[in-house]
Chains A and B, each alone.
Chain A
Amino acid sequence: MIQTVEGKGRYGRFGGQYVPETLMGALSELEEAHDSALADQEFIEQLNGYLKDFVGRENPLYFAERLTEAAGGARIYLKREDLNHTGAHKINNALGQALLAKRMGKRKIVAETGAGQHGVATATACALLGLECVVFMGKEDIRRQELNVFRMELLGTRVESVDKGAGTLKDAVNEALRYWVAHVEDTHYILGSALGPHPFPKIVRDFQQVIGQETKRQIVEKEGRLPDAVVACIGGGSNAIGMFHPFVEDENVALYGVEAAGGGISTGQHAAAIAEAKEGVLHGAYMYVLQDEDGFIQEAHSISAGLDYPAVGPEHCHLHDIGRVHYTSVTDAEALEGVQLLAQKEGIIPALESAHAIHFAFGLAKEMHPDEILVVCLSGRGDKDVQTVRDALGGGVQ
Chain B
Amino acid sequence: MNEFTLTMAIRKRNEKGQSAFIPYMMAGDGGLDMLHERISFLEEAGADAIEIGIPFSDPVADGEVIQEAGSRALKRGVTLRKVMSELQAQLHSIPLVVMTYLNPVLAYGVSEFVEDCKRAGVKGLIIPDLPHEERGLLSDALIGKDIALVPLISLTSSLERIEKNARKAEGFVYAVTVNGITGVRSSFASDLMDHLTVLKGVSNVPVLAGFGISTPEQVRHFSSIADGVIVGSAIVTAFHEENLEKIQSLIEASRTAVSQ
Answer yes or no: are A and B bound together in one complex: yes
Asked if B133 and A282 sit within 8 Å, CB to CB, the answer is no
Asked if B152 and A297 sit within 8 Å, CB to CB, the answer is no
- Does A296 lie at the interface of the complex (its beta carbon under 8 Å from any beta carbon of B)? yes
Task: Give the distance in Å from the alpha carbon of A133 to the alpha carbon of B104 in the complex.
Answer: 33
CB closest residue in chain A, given B174? A21
> Contacts A18-B134, A164-B67, A281-B103; is A185 near B129 (CB within 8 Å)?
no
Q: At the interface with chain B, which of A84-92, A173-181, A240-248? A: A173-181
Task: Give the distance in Å from the alpha carbon of A181 to the alpha carbon of B106 in the complex.
Answer: 24
Q: At the interface with chain B, which of A22-30, A98-106, A148-156, A222-230? A: A22-30
Task: Give the distance in Å from the alpha carbon of A26 to the alpha carbon of B165 in the complex.
Answer: 16
Interface string of B125-157 (1 = CB under 8 A from A): 000111111100000000000000001111111
Asked if B156 and A184 sit within 8 Å, CB to CB, the answer is yes
Asked if A294 and B60 sit within 8 Å, CB to CB, the answer is no
CB closest residue in chain B, given A8? B133
- Does B105 lie at the interface of the complex (its beta carbon under 8 Å from any beta carbon of A)? yes
A: interface residue count bin = 35 or more
Which residues from B are CB-within-8-Å of A295?
80, 103-108
Asked if A22 and B180 sit within 8 Å, CB to CB, the answer is yes
Asked if A19 and B156 sit within 8 Å, CB to CB, the answer is no
Task: Give the distance in Å from the alpha carbon of A26 to the alpha carbon of B157 in the complex.
Answer: 9
Task: Give the distance in Å from the alpha carbon of A207 to the alpha carbon of B117 in the complex.
Answer: 44
Task: Give the distance in Å from the alpha carbon of A271 to the alpha carbon of B151 in the complex.
Answer: 34
Q: A282: which of B81, B103, B180 is its contact (CB, 8 Å)?
A: B103
Q: B103: which of A23, A178, A181, A297 is its contact (CB, 8 Å)?
A: A297
Q: A20: which of B60, B67, B103 is its contact (CB, 8 Å)?
A: B60
Q: A178: which of B60, B80, B81, B157 is its contact (CB, 8 Å)?
A: B60
Q: A21: which of B81, B104, B151 is its contact (CB, 8 Å)?
A: B151
- Does A293 lie at the interface of the complex (its beta carbon under 8 Å from any beta carbon of B)? yes
Interface string of A168-204 (1 = CB under 8 A from B): 0010001001100111110000000000000000000
- Does B256 lie at the interface of the complex (its beta carbon under 8 Å from any beta carbon of A)? no
Task: Give the distance in Å from the alpha carbon of A291 to the alpha carbon of B105 in the complex.
Answer: 13
Interface string of A257-295 (1 = CB under 8 A from B): 000000000000000000000011111100001010111
> Contacts A18-B131, A185-B179, A296-B56; is A280 near B103 (CB within 8 Å)?
yes
Main secondary structure, interface of A, reads: mixed
Q: A182: which of B81, B106, B130, B181 is its contact (CB, 8 Å)?
A: B181
Interface string of B47-88 (1 = CB under 8 A from A): 000000000111111010001000000100001110000000
Asked if B152 and A281 sit within 8 Å, CB to CB, the answer is no
Asked if A177 and B129 sit within 8 Å, CB to CB, the answer is no
Which residues from B are CB-within-8-Å of A284?
129
Asked if B154 and A22 sit within 8 Å, CB to CB, the answer is yes
- Does A16 lie at the interface of the complex (its beta carbon under 8 Å from any beta carbon of B)? yes
Task: Give the distance in Å from the alpha carbon of A26 to the alpha carbon of B129 in the complex.
Answer: 15
Which residues from B are CB-within-8-Å of A23?
156
Task: Give the distance in Å from the alpha carbon of A279 to the alpha carbon of B67 in the complex.
Answer: 24
- Does B158 lie at the interface of the complex (its beta carbon under 8 Å from any beta carbon of A)? yes
> Contacts A178-B181, A291-B103, A295-B108; is A16 near B154 (CB within 8 Å)?
no
Interface string of A1-33 (1 = CB under 8 A from B): 000000010000000111111111110000000
Asked if A22 and B179 sit within 8 Å, CB to CB, the answer is yes
Q: A291: which of B59, B107, B152, B158 is its contact (CB, 8 Å)?
A: B107
Which residues from A are CB-within-8-Å of B176?
21-22
| Smallest beta-carbon distance B190→chain A, Å | 14
Asked if B154 and A297 sit within 8 Å, CB to CB, the answer is no
Asked if B129 and A19 sit within 8 Å, CB to CB, the answer is yes
- Does A165 lie at the interface of the complex (its beta carbon under 8 Å from any beta carbon of B)? yes
- Does B161 lie at the interface of the complex (its beta carbon under 8 Å from any beta carbon of A)? yes
- Does B102 lie at the interface of the complex (its beta carbon under 8 Å from any beta carbon of A)? yes
Q: A16: which of B58, B104, B132, B134 is its contact (CB, 8 Å)?
A: B134
Which of B105, B134, B151 has the most A CB atoms < 10 Å from its CB? B134
Asked if B131 and A17 sit within 8 Å, CB to CB, the answer is yes
| Smallest beta-carbon distance B105→chain A, Å | 7
CB closest residue in chain A, given B80? A294
Which residues from A are CB-within-8-Å of B61?
20, 178, 181
Asked if B106 and A294 sit within 8 Å, CB to CB, the answer is no
| Smallest beta-carbon distance B98→chain A, Å | 14
| Smallest beta-carbon distance A166→chain B, Å | 10
Asked if A18 and B156 sit within 8 Å, CB to CB, the answer is no
Q: B102: which of A18, A170, A185 is its contact (CB, 8 Å)?
A: A18
Asked if B102 and A297 sit within 8 Å, CB to CB, the answer is no
Q: B181: which of A165, A181, A297, A298 is its contact (CB, 8 Å)?
A: A181
CB interface residues, B 26-65, toward A, < 8 Å:
56-61, 63
| Smallest beta-carbon distance A188→chain B, Å | 14
Interface string of A69-84 (1 = CB under 8 A from B): 0000000000000000
| Smallest beta-carbon distance B203→chain A, Å | 15
| Smallest beta-carbon distance A333→chain B, Å | 28
Task: Give the distance in Å from the alpha carbon of A19 to the alpha carbon of B130 in the complex.
Answer: 6
CB closest residue in chain B, given A27? B131
Asked if B57 and A20 sit within 8 Å, CB to CB, the answer is no
Asked if A174 and B58 sit within 8 Å, CB to CB, the answer is yes
Task: Give the distance in Å from the alpha carbon of A25 to the alpha carbon of B153 in the complex.
Answer: 11
21 A-B pairs (CB sep. < 8 Å): A18-B129, A18-B131, A20-B152, A21-B165, A24-B157, A25-B154, A26-B156, A178-B60, A182-B178, A182-B181, A184-B156, A280-B107, A282-B58, A284-B129, A293-B107, A294-B107, A295-B103, A296-B56, A296-B74, A296-B103, A296-B104
Additional A-B contacts beyond A17-B134, A21-B151 (9; CB < 8 A): A17-B131, A18-B130, A22-B155, A25-B154, A170-B58, A178-B63, A293-B107, A295-B80, A296-B79
What are the 5 closest A-B residue pairs judged by CB atoms, nearest first?
A295-B107, A182-B180, A295-B104, A296-B57, A294-B79
Q: Which residues of A contact B (CB under 8 A)?
A: 8, 16-26, 164-165, 170, 174, 177-178, 181-185, 279-284, 289, 291, 293-298
